[in-house]
Amino acid sequence: MNFKDYFKDKKVTVMGLGLLGRGIGDAEYIAAAGAKEVIVTDLKSEEQLKESVEKLKDCNNITFVLGQHRIEDFENRDLILVAAGVPTNSEFLRHASEAGVPQKQSAALFAELSQVPVIGVTGTRGKSTVTHMIHHVISELTGEPVLLGGNVRGVSNLQLLNEVKEDSLCVMELDSWQLQGWGWSKMSPQVAVFTNFMEDHLNYYQVGGKEKNEAMDLYFADKANIFRYQEESGVLVTTPEVFERAKKLEGVTLGQEVVLVDGSAMPEDTLLAMPGEHNRLNAALAYEALKALGLEDEEIFSGLASFPGVPGRLEYLGERDDVKIYNDNNATTPQATVVGLRAVGNADEKNVILIAGGAFKEVGPQVLIDEIPKYCKKVILLAGSGTDMMKDKVEAEVVESVEEAVKAGLACGQPGDIILFSPGFASFGMFKNEYERNDAFVAAVRESD
Protein backbone atom coordinates (compact mmCIF):
# COMPACT_ATOMS: atom_id res chain seq x y z
CA MET A 1 0.00 0.00 0.00
CA ASN A 2 0.88 3.65 -0.16
CA PHE A 3 1.59 4.19 3.54
CA LYS A 4 0.75 7.87 3.30
CA ASP A 5 -2.87 7.01 2.52
CA TYR A 6 -3.24 6.04 6.18
CA PHE A 7 -2.83 9.69 7.18
CA LYS A 8 -4.42 11.41 4.19
CA ASP A 9 -7.24 13.82 5.10
CA LYS A 10 -7.06 12.84 8.78
CA LYS A 11 -7.02 15.10 11.83
CA VAL A 12 -4.02 14.03 13.89
CA THR A 13 -2.66 15.16 17.25
CA VAL A 14 1.05 14.52 17.79
CA MET A 15 1.59 14.40 21.56
CA GLY A 16 5.25 15.14 22.24
CA LEU A 17 7.61 16.86 19.79
CA GLY A 18 10.82 16.64 21.77
CA LEU A 19 14.37 17.62 20.91
CA LEU A 20 15.88 14.43 19.51
CA GLY A 21 14.47 14.43 15.98
CA ARG A 22 12.07 11.50 16.29
CA GLY A 23 8.96 13.57 16.93
CA ILE A 24 10.02 16.09 14.30
CA GLY A 25 10.34 13.43 11.62
CA ASP A 26 7.06 11.77 12.59
CA ALA A 27 5.14 15.07 12.49
CA GLU A 28 6.74 15.99 9.17
CA TYR A 29 5.82 12.61 7.64
CA ILE A 30 2.18 12.91 8.74
CA ALA A 31 1.95 16.48 7.43
CA ALA A 32 3.56 15.56 4.08
CA ALA A 33 1.24 12.55 3.78
CA GLY A 34 -1.66 14.95 3.34
CA ALA A 35 -3.19 15.00 6.81
CA LYS A 36 -6.01 17.51 6.94
CA GLU A 37 -4.85 19.02 10.24
CA VAL A 38 -1.88 18.21 12.49
CA ILE A 39 -1.75 19.58 16.02
CA VAL A 40 1.67 19.22 17.61
CA THR A 41 1.42 19.61 21.38
CA ASP A 42 4.19 19.47 23.99
CA LEU A 43 4.56 20.56 27.60
CA LYS A 44 7.89 22.17 26.77
CA SER A 45 7.73 25.83 25.86
CA GLU A 46 8.17 27.34 22.41
CA GLU A 47 11.55 28.65 23.51
CA GLN A 48 12.69 25.19 24.66
CA LEU A 49 11.54 23.65 21.38
CA LYS A 50 12.73 26.47 19.14
CA GLU A 51 15.07 24.30 17.02
CA SER A 52 12.44 21.58 16.59
CA VAL A 53 9.70 24.04 15.63
CA GLU A 54 12.01 25.72 13.11
CA LYS A 55 12.43 22.45 11.23
CA LEU A 56 8.66 22.19 10.72
CA LYS A 57 8.03 25.82 9.72
CA ASP A 58 7.26 24.91 6.09
CA CYS A 59 4.47 22.48 7.03
CA ASN A 60 1.36 24.61 6.53
CA ASN A 61 -1.01 22.04 8.00
CA ILE A 62 0.75 21.93 11.40
CA THR A 63 -0.52 23.96 14.37
CA PHE A 64 1.63 24.14 17.51
CA VAL A 65 0.23 24.05 21.04
CA LEU A 66 3.30 24.36 23.28
CA GLY A 67 3.80 24.75 27.02
CA GLN A 68 0.53 22.93 27.63
CA HIS A 69 -1.87 20.24 26.48
CA ARG A 70 -5.52 21.10 25.80
CA ILE A 71 -8.37 18.65 26.30
CA GLU A 72 -9.98 19.74 23.03
CA ASP A 73 -6.94 18.53 21.09
CA PHE A 74 -7.69 14.98 22.23
CA GLU A 75 -11.26 14.73 21.01
CA ASN A 76 -12.82 14.80 17.54
CA ARG A 77 -9.53 13.53 16.11
CA ASP A 78 -8.78 10.59 13.84
CA LEU A 79 -5.52 9.68 15.60
CA ILE A 80 -3.33 10.57 18.56
CA LEU A 81 0.36 9.79 17.93
CA VAL A 82 1.81 9.45 21.43
CA ALA A 83 5.49 10.01 22.18
CA ALA A 84 7.28 7.40 24.28
CA GLY A 85 7.35 8.23 27.98
CA VAL A 86 3.97 9.94 28.31
CA PRO A 87 2.58 8.96 31.74
CA THR A 88 0.16 6.05 31.54
CA ASN A 89 -2.28 7.92 33.79
CA SER A 90 -2.38 10.98 31.51
CA GLU A 91 -5.75 12.66 31.77
CA PHE A 92 -5.47 13.62 28.10
CA LEU A 93 -5.01 10.05 26.89
CA ARG A 94 -7.81 8.94 29.17
CA HIS A 95 -10.04 11.61 27.62
CA ALA A 96 -9.05 10.45 24.12
CA SER A 97 -9.94 6.86 25.04
CA GLU A 98 -13.31 7.95 26.38
CA ALA A 99 -13.89 9.91 23.17
CA GLY A 100 -13.04 6.84 21.09
CA VAL A 101 -9.94 8.34 19.49
CA PRO A 102 -7.30 5.74 18.43
CA GLN A 103 -3.87 6.08 20.03
CA LYS A 104 -0.66 4.82 18.46
CA GLN A 105 3.09 5.06 19.00
CA SER A 106 5.40 5.43 16.03
CA ALA A 107 7.53 2.25 16.41
CA ALA A 108 4.49 -0.02 16.56
CA LEU A 109 2.69 1.98 13.87
CA PHE A 110 5.66 1.55 11.53
CA ALA A 111 5.48 -2.23 11.98
CA GLU A 112 1.69 -2.26 11.62
CA LEU A 113 1.74 -0.29 8.35
CA SER A 114 4.87 -1.72 6.74
CA GLN A 115 4.29 -5.38 7.64
CA VAL A 116 8.05 -5.97 7.32
CA PRO A 117 9.65 -8.62 9.57
CA VAL A 118 10.98 -7.02 12.76
CA ILE A 119 13.74 -8.20 15.08
CA GLY A 120 13.00 -6.35 18.31
CA VAL A 121 15.40 -5.98 21.23
CA THR A 122 14.59 -4.85 24.76
CA GLY A 123 16.05 -5.19 28.26
CA THR A 124 17.18 -2.90 31.04
CA ARG A 125 20.78 -3.00 29.85
CA GLY A 126 22.43 -4.12 26.64
CA LYS A 127 19.55 -3.52 24.24
CA SER A 128 21.37 -0.89 22.20
CA THR A 129 24.49 -3.02 21.86
CA VAL A 130 22.55 -6.14 20.88
CA THR A 131 20.40 -4.17 18.42
CA HIS A 132 23.43 -2.71 16.68
CA MET A 133 25.27 -6.04 16.73
CA ILE A 134 22.40 -7.72 14.90
CA HIS A 135 22.05 -4.83 12.46
CA HIS A 136 25.80 -4.81 11.77
CA VAL A 137 26.05 -8.54 11.05
CA ILE A 138 23.05 -8.58 8.69
CA SER A 139 24.28 -5.46 6.89
CA GLU A 140 27.78 -6.92 6.48
CA LEU A 141 26.42 -10.15 5.03
CA THR A 142 23.81 -8.76 2.67
CA GLY A 143 25.56 -5.58 1.60
CA GLU A 144 22.07 -4.09 1.44
CA PRO A 145 20.61 -1.39 3.71
CA VAL A 146 18.85 -2.94 6.70
CA LEU A 147 16.30 -0.73 8.42
CA LEU A 148 17.22 0.36 11.95
CA GLY A 149 14.64 1.99 14.21
CA GLY A 150 12.91 2.20 17.55
CA ASN A 151 14.85 3.93 20.30
CA VAL A 152 17.65 5.14 18.01
CA ARG A 153 18.95 8.69 18.28
CA GLY A 154 17.49 11.01 15.67
CA VAL A 155 15.56 8.26 13.83
CA SER A 156 11.89 8.88 13.06
CA ASN A 157 10.10 5.57 12.78
CA LEU A 158 7.48 6.95 10.41
CA GLN A 159 10.17 8.34 8.09
CA LEU A 160 11.47 4.76 7.82
CA LEU A 161 8.31 4.04 5.82
CA ASN A 162 9.97 5.93 2.96
CA GLU A 163 12.71 3.28 2.87
CA VAL A 164 10.55 0.14 2.92
CA LYS A 165 11.04 -2.28 0.02
CA GLU A 166 9.44 -5.60 -0.76
CA ASP A 167 12.24 -7.58 0.90
CA SER A 168 12.95 -5.17 3.78
CA LEU A 169 13.92 -6.27 7.28
CA CYS A 170 13.97 -3.99 10.32
CA VAL A 171 15.96 -4.24 13.54
CA MET A 172 14.45 -2.19 16.37
CA GLU A 173 15.66 -1.24 19.81
CA LEU A 174 12.52 -1.00 21.92
CA ASP A 175 12.38 0.53 25.39
CA SER A 176 9.57 -0.13 27.85
CA TRP A 177 7.70 3.00 26.79
CA GLN A 178 7.75 2.18 23.08
CA LEU A 179 6.59 -1.32 23.93
CA GLN A 180 3.47 0.18 25.48
CA GLY A 181 2.51 1.09 21.91
CA TRP A 182 3.07 -2.50 20.75
CA GLY A 183 0.76 -3.56 23.56
CA TRP A 184 -1.93 -1.12 22.43
CA SER A 185 -1.71 -2.61 18.93
CA LYS A 186 -1.56 -6.18 20.31
CA MET A 187 1.59 -6.91 18.29
CA SER A 188 5.06 -8.30 18.96
CA PRO A 189 8.13 -8.56 16.71
CA GLN A 190 8.67 -11.84 14.87
CA VAL A 191 12.03 -12.29 16.63
CA ALA A 192 12.20 -10.85 20.15
CA VAL A 193 15.34 -10.47 22.26
CA PHE A 194 14.96 -9.67 25.97
CA THR A 195 18.47 -9.11 27.35
CA ASN A 196 17.91 -8.77 31.11
CA PHE A 197 15.67 -7.12 33.70
CA MET A 198 16.92 -4.86 36.51
CA GLU A 199 15.75 -1.89 38.53
CA ASP A 200 15.29 1.20 36.38
CA HIS A 201 12.76 3.93 35.61
CA LEU A 202 11.22 3.65 39.06
CA ASN A 203 10.68 7.42 38.97
CA TYR A 204 8.21 6.72 36.13
CA TYR A 205 6.55 3.53 37.38
CA GLN A 206 6.56 4.25 41.13
CA VAL A 207 3.92 7.01 40.98
CA GLY A 208 0.77 7.35 43.02
CA GLY A 209 2.37 5.80 46.08
CA LYS A 210 3.07 2.45 44.41
CA GLU A 211 5.38 0.05 46.19
CA LYS A 212 8.68 -0.82 44.54
CA ASN A 213 7.63 -4.40 43.75
CA GLU A 214 4.44 -3.17 42.12
CA ALA A 215 6.41 -0.64 40.05
CA MET A 216 8.79 -3.36 38.90
CA ASP A 217 5.83 -5.52 37.86
CA LEU A 218 4.47 -2.64 35.76
CA TYR A 219 7.89 -2.08 34.20
CA PHE A 220 8.20 -5.78 33.32
CA ALA A 221 4.65 -5.90 31.95
CA ASP A 222 5.50 -3.14 29.46
CA LYS A 223 8.69 -4.89 28.38
CA ALA A 224 6.84 -8.20 28.08
CA ASN A 225 4.91 -6.81 25.11
CA ILE A 226 7.98 -7.71 23.04
CA PHE A 227 6.90 -11.37 23.22
CA ARG A 228 3.33 -11.27 24.59
CA TYR A 229 1.64 -11.32 21.17
CA GLN A 230 4.11 -13.45 19.23
CA GLU A 231 2.63 -16.20 17.07
CA GLU A 232 3.83 -19.79 17.44
CA SER A 233 6.20 -19.16 14.53
CA GLY A 234 7.91 -16.40 16.52
CA VAL A 235 11.17 -16.74 18.45
CA LEU A 236 11.99 -15.33 21.89
CA VAL A 237 15.68 -15.14 22.79
CA THR A 238 16.31 -14.37 26.45
CA THR A 239 18.03 -15.44 29.67
CA PRO A 240 16.78 -18.01 32.19
CA GLU A 241 16.15 -15.23 34.76
CA VAL A 242 13.87 -13.27 32.44
CA PHE A 243 12.11 -16.45 31.30
CA GLU A 244 11.28 -17.44 34.88
CA ARG A 245 9.61 -14.07 35.40
CA ALA A 246 7.85 -14.27 32.03
CA LYS A 247 6.27 -17.62 32.93
CA LYS A 248 4.47 -15.95 35.84
CA LEU A 249 2.66 -13.40 33.65
CA GLU A 250 -1.07 -13.90 33.68
CA GLY A 251 -2.60 -14.70 30.30
CA VAL A 252 0.73 -15.36 28.53
CA THR A 253 1.04 -18.82 26.99
CA LEU A 254 4.64 -18.67 25.63
CA GLY A 255 3.80 -20.98 22.76
CA GLN A 256 6.53 -19.54 20.54
CA GLU A 257 10.04 -20.99 20.28
CA VAL A 258 12.06 -19.89 23.34
CA VAL A 259 15.86 -19.87 23.24
CA LEU A 260 17.61 -19.45 26.59
CA VAL A 261 21.08 -17.91 26.54
CA ASP A 262 24.07 -17.52 28.82
CA GLY A 263 27.64 -16.45 28.10
CA SER A 264 28.71 -20.00 27.33
CA ALA A 265 27.03 -19.77 23.92
CA MET A 266 30.07 -17.83 22.68
CA PRO A 267 33.27 -19.86 22.14
CA GLU A 268 36.17 -18.57 24.26
CA ASP A 269 38.18 -17.69 21.16
CA THR A 270 35.42 -15.46 19.72
CA LEU A 271 36.90 -12.04 19.02
CA LEU A 272 34.96 -8.99 20.22
CA ALA A 273 36.08 -5.38 20.13
CA MET A 274 34.18 -4.47 23.31
CA PRO A 275 35.45 -5.37 26.78
CA GLY A 276 33.52 -7.12 29.53
CA GLU A 277 31.76 -10.41 30.20
CA HIS A 278 28.43 -8.64 29.80
CA ASN A 279 29.32 -7.94 26.17
CA ARG A 280 30.00 -11.65 25.60
CA LEU A 281 26.46 -12.27 26.84
CA ASN A 282 25.21 -9.49 24.53
CA ALA A 283 27.01 -11.22 21.65
CA ALA A 284 25.46 -14.56 22.63
CA LEU A 285 21.98 -13.04 22.53
CA ALA A 286 22.68 -11.49 19.13
CA TYR A 287 24.09 -14.80 17.90
CA GLU A 288 20.90 -16.70 18.76
CA ALA A 289 18.70 -14.03 17.17
CA LEU A 290 20.79 -14.20 13.99
CA LYS A 291 20.58 -18.01 14.00
CA ALA A 292 16.79 -17.63 14.15
CA LEU A 293 17.04 -15.72 10.87
CA GLY A 294 18.82 -18.67 9.26
CA LEU A 295 22.40 -17.35 9.33
CA GLU A 296 25.31 -19.79 9.68
CA ASP A 297 27.76 -19.78 12.62
CA GLU A 298 30.75 -18.76 10.53
CA GLU A 299 28.88 -15.81 9.06
CA ILE A 300 27.70 -14.66 12.49
CA PHE A 301 31.07 -14.93 14.25
CA SER A 302 32.80 -13.10 11.41
CA GLY A 303 30.27 -10.28 11.60
CA LEU A 304 30.47 -10.01 15.38
CA ALA A 305 34.27 -9.81 15.25
CA SER A 306 34.08 -6.71 13.05
CA PHE A 307 31.45 -4.95 15.16
CA PRO A 308 33.08 -1.76 16.53
CA GLY A 309 30.70 -1.11 19.41
CA VAL A 310 28.08 1.54 20.10
CA PRO A 311 28.75 5.18 21.00
CA GLY A 312 28.29 5.79 24.70
CA ARG A 313 28.51 2.14 25.73
CA LEU A 314 32.05 1.40 26.90
CA GLU A 315 33.15 3.27 23.79
CA TYR A 316 36.93 3.51 23.61
CA LEU A 317 37.96 7.11 22.91
CA GLY A 318 41.70 6.57 22.81
CA GLU A 319 44.55 7.52 25.16
CA ARG A 320 46.03 10.66 26.66
CA ASP A 321 49.57 10.16 27.98
CA ASP A 322 48.99 6.39 28.22
CA VAL A 323 45.70 6.86 30.10
CA LYS A 324 42.88 5.00 28.35
CA ILE A 325 39.49 6.77 28.14
CA TYR A 326 36.13 4.99 27.91
CA ASN A 327 32.76 6.65 27.33
CA ASP A 328 29.97 4.71 29.07
CA ASN A 329 27.50 7.62 29.07
CA ASN A 330 24.48 5.37 28.63
CA ALA A 331 25.07 3.68 31.97
CA THR A 332 22.21 5.46 33.72
CA THR A 333 21.82 3.18 36.75
CA PRO A 334 24.32 2.38 39.52
CA GLN A 335 24.28 -1.31 38.52
CA ALA A 336 25.22 -0.40 34.95
CA THR A 337 28.22 1.56 36.24
CA VAL A 338 29.28 -1.45 38.31
CA VAL A 339 29.26 -3.55 35.14
CA GLY A 340 31.47 -0.95 33.46
CA LEU A 341 33.93 -0.94 36.36
CA ARG A 342 34.23 -4.71 36.22
CA ALA A 343 34.69 -4.66 32.44
CA VAL A 344 37.61 -2.20 32.25
CA GLY A 345 39.03 -2.07 35.78
CA ASN A 346 41.64 -4.13 37.58
CA ALA A 347 40.88 -4.84 41.22
CA ASP A 348 44.56 -5.59 41.92
CA GLU A 349 45.72 -2.21 40.65
CA LYS A 350 42.71 0.02 41.47
CA ASN A 351 43.49 1.91 38.29
CA VAL A 352 40.10 3.49 37.42
CA ILE A 353 39.37 7.20 37.58
CA LEU A 354 35.57 7.15 37.62
CA ILE A 355 33.50 10.11 36.43
CA ALA A 356 29.92 9.54 37.56
CA GLY A 357 26.91 11.28 39.08
CA GLY A 358 23.71 12.96 37.97
CA ALA A 359 19.99 12.93 38.73
CA PHE A 360 18.43 10.31 41.03
CA LYS A 361 15.66 8.19 39.48
CA GLU A 362 14.63 6.10 42.47
CA VAL A 363 17.31 3.42 41.99
CA GLY A 364 19.51 3.31 45.08
CA PRO A 365 23.30 3.69 44.65
CA GLN A 366 24.50 1.32 47.39
CA VAL A 367 25.65 -1.35 44.93
CA LEU A 368 27.93 1.22 43.29
CA ILE A 369 29.13 2.64 46.61
CA ASP A 370 30.21 -0.88 47.62
CA GLU A 371 32.07 -1.51 44.37
CA ILE A 372 33.97 1.77 44.02
CA PRO A 373 36.75 0.97 46.56
CA LYS A 374 37.58 -2.25 44.68
CA TYR A 375 38.48 -0.54 41.40
CA CYS A 376 38.82 3.23 41.77
CA LYS A 377 41.82 5.36 42.62
CA LYS A 378 39.73 8.52 42.26
CA VAL A 379 36.05 9.40 41.89
CA ILE A 380 34.79 12.59 40.25
CA LEU A 381 31.08 13.30 40.54
CA LEU A 382 28.90 15.59 38.41
CA ALA A 383 26.48 17.61 40.52
CA GLY A 384 22.93 16.27 40.88
CA SER A 385 20.39 14.68 43.21
CA GLY A 386 21.95 11.24 42.74
CA THR A 387 25.38 12.63 43.53
CA ASP A 388 23.96 14.12 46.74
CA MET A 389 23.19 10.58 47.89
CA MET A 390 26.76 9.42 47.26
CA LYS A 391 29.14 12.26 48.05
CA ASP A 392 29.17 11.64 51.80
CA LYS A 393 29.64 7.88 51.37
CA VAL A 394 32.60 7.83 48.98
CA GLU A 395 35.70 9.98 48.81
CA ALA A 396 35.02 12.10 45.75
CA GLU A 397 35.53 15.43 44.05
CA VAL A 398 32.26 17.10 42.98
CA VAL A 399 32.41 19.28 39.85
CA GLU A 400 29.94 21.46 37.98
CA SER A 401 30.68 20.43 34.40
CA VAL A 402 31.91 17.57 32.23
CA GLU A 403 34.82 19.75 31.12
CA GLU A 404 35.96 20.14 34.74
CA ALA A 405 35.59 16.40 35.26
CA VAL A 406 37.78 15.52 32.27
CA LYS A 407 40.47 18.00 33.33
CA ALA A 408 40.45 16.64 36.89
CA GLY A 409 40.67 13.07 35.64
CA LEU A 410 43.56 13.73 33.30
CA ALA A 411 45.38 15.74 35.98
CA CYS A 412 45.65 12.71 38.27
CA GLY A 413 46.02 10.03 35.61
CA GLN A 414 49.18 7.94 35.39
CA PRO A 415 50.28 5.56 32.60
CA GLY A 416 48.15 2.43 32.80
CA ASP A 417 45.19 4.21 34.40
CA ILE A 418 41.69 4.26 32.91
CA ILE A 419 39.25 7.15 32.87
CA LEU A 420 35.75 5.72 32.85
CA PHE A 421 32.83 8.07 32.25
CA SER A 422 29.91 6.01 33.54
CA PRO A 423 27.35 8.28 35.24
CA GLY A 424 25.09 5.74 36.96
CA PHE A 425 22.31 8.34 37.07
CA ALA A 426 20.05 10.29 34.73
CA SER A 427 21.24 13.38 32.87
CA PHE A 428 18.39 15.72 33.76
CA GLY A 429 19.24 18.92 35.59
CA MET A 430 22.67 19.57 34.14
CA PHE A 431 21.67 18.47 30.62
CA LYS A 432 18.57 18.36 28.42
CA ASN A 433 19.02 14.62 27.90
CA GLU A 434 21.63 11.86 27.89
CA TYR A 435 22.64 12.63 24.31
CA GLU A 436 23.67 16.17 25.21
CA ARG A 437 25.68 14.74 28.11
CA ASN A 438 27.34 12.24 25.76
CA ASP A 439 28.30 14.93 23.28
CA ALA A 440 29.68 17.17 26.03
CA PHE A 441 31.97 14.41 27.29
CA VAL A 442 33.22 13.47 23.83
CA ALA A 443 33.89 17.16 23.04
CA ALA A 444 35.76 17.66 26.33
CA VAL A 445 37.99 14.65 25.58
CA ARG A 446 38.71 15.90 22.07
CA GLU A 447 39.59 19.37 23.34
CA SER A 448 42.03 17.82 25.81
CA ASP A 449 44.14 16.41 22.95
How far apart are the C-alpha atoms of 264 and 281, rounded to whole Å?
8
Q: What was the pLDDT predicted at 433?
A: 87
- Residue 359: pLDDT over 80: yes
For the stretch 105-162, pLDDT in tens is 999 999 999 999 999 999 999 999 999 999 999 999 988 889 999 999 889 999 999 9
For the stretch 35-91, pLDDT in tens is 999 999 999 999 999 999 999 999 999 999 999 999 999 999 999 999 999 988 899
Angle at 278 between CA 272 and CA 284, to 5 degrees: 65
Q: What was the pLDDT predicted at 170?
A: 98
Angle at 399 between CA 396 and CA 403, to 5 degrees: 125
Domain 3-104 has CATH 3.40.640.10: no
Q: What was the pLDDT predicted at 157?
A: 97
**Burial category of 242 from C-beta neighbours within 10 Å (exposed 0-12, middle 13-18, buried 19 and up):** buried
- Give residue 1's pLDDT band: very low, low, confident or very high (50, 70, 90): low
Residue 298: Cβ within 10 Å count = 8
> How long a stretch of residues is the chain?
449
Domain 315-447: which CATH number of 3.40.50.970, 3.90.190.20, 3.40.50.1950, 3.40.630.30 = 3.90.190.20
Residue 39: Cβ within 10 Å count = 21
**Burial category of 307 from C-beta neighbours within 10 Å (exposed 0-12, middle 13-18, buried 19 and up):** buried
Residues 6+ apart with CB under 8 A from 211: none
257-260, strands of its sheet edge to edge: 147-150, 170-173, 118-122, 191-194, 235-238, 257-260
Q: What was the pLDDT predicted at 21?
A: 83
Domain residue spans of the chain = 3-104, 108-305, 315-447
Q: Could you give the dihedral angle defined by the CA atoms of residues 349, 350, 352 and 355, in that order, rounded to the nearest 10 degrees?
A: -170
How far apart are the C-alpha atoms of 285 and 236, rounded to whole Å?
10
How far apart are the C-alpha atoms of 307 and 313, rounded to whole Å?
13
Q: Are 389 and 381 in contact (CB under 8 A)?
A: no
Residues 6+ apart with CB under 8 A from 370: none
Q: Mean pLDDT for the chain? A: 94
CATH topology of domain 108-305: UDP-N-acetylmuramoyl-L-alanine:D-glutamate ligase (3.40.1190)
The answer to whether 3-104 and 315-447 have equal CATH topology is no
% the chain with pLDDT above 70: 100
